[in-house]
Structure 1
């Protein structure tokens, strides 16, 4: 019995889209003004994070989620680049700082040790981070019936 899996991973698209839709709604609550360079800081669990708007287009907004202090001196600063797709109302991680473009699935094992469902896991991590930020009182809710959130 070999270590190489012969079955390829097939991502559940409805499950992934639902996760990205929830991330979009949560990010709208935390996002600073949608102008390039806008920044909003969050403090919780003794850590300092920033959401910085990097690019705004008609249908997309790119945002960096940055942890300002490295966990350890040997580790790089933690950062995720997020893209909000306003026409589809979804948000996903597009460039985590540890590798370029997260693919939907990876063969396993692989030289870079990516998980089979790494794209889903990275976006689930974003979901957990957004929930933690919202639930710990570091952001106020801005419900507006005119922007289709309610």
Structure 2
């Protein structure tokens, strides 16, 4: 049996990063504000809240925290937090941390101490894309705050 090394599919990952940038830009209205709250109703009509906060703004990058809370789910599934870096010049966005953890690596050895999959970062970016697409389809903005 041959042990094959994982090689990321860069064109696929770049396309996903570009799509996620566009989704975030649309959802956050071009990042004019610093805080955004959204809500949709899940199964059994329970509210699912999403809070977005722009925590850093620079000329070429912005960093966004997205936090989803669903009180109908058991802990620890009731809360998911992603930190996303947006690259304005390249028009790409990627997940940099998951649940306030350390920065995600592009490839992980397997097995590893954190039990990450070999392609954990790619999976996190797919998850982000699905989550943003769902939020754009079903989410309702509750309120926005202007930067102080």
- The gaps in structure 1 that reach 5 residues or longer are 140-150
1:20 aligns with 2:17: yes
Question: TM-score, normalising length from structure 1?
Answer: 0.79
Distance 1:41 1:66 in 2: 10
More strand by share: 2
Distance 1:73 1:14 in 2: 36
- The gaps in structure 2 that reach 5 residues or longer are 142-148
| Counterpart pick for 2:37 among 38, 41, 49 | 41
Question: TM-score, normalising length from structure 2?
Answer: 0.80
Number of equivalenced pairs: 135
Distance 2:22 2:38 in 1: 18
**Corresponding residue for residue 148 of structure 1:** none
Deviation at residue 78 of structure 1 after TM alignment: 1.9
Judge conservation of contact 2:82–2:95 (CA < 8 Å) in 1: yes
CA offset digits 1:40-89 (Å, max 9, x no partner): 11111221111111111000011110124564345684211111100000
CA offset digits 1:102-138 (Å, max 9, x no partner): 1111122222211111111000000000110112253
The 1:52–1:105 alpha-carbon spacing in structure 2 relative to 1, beyond 3 Å, is same
Judge conservation of contact 1:64–1:82 (CA < 8 Å) in 2: yes
Distance 1:95 1:7 in 2: 27
Moved >6 Å (runs of 4+) = none
The 1:32–1:52 alpha-carbon spacing in structure 2 relative to 1, beyond 3 Å, is farther
Higher RCO, 1 vs 2 (CA within 8 Å, ≥6 residues apart): 2
1:97 aligns with 2:99: yes
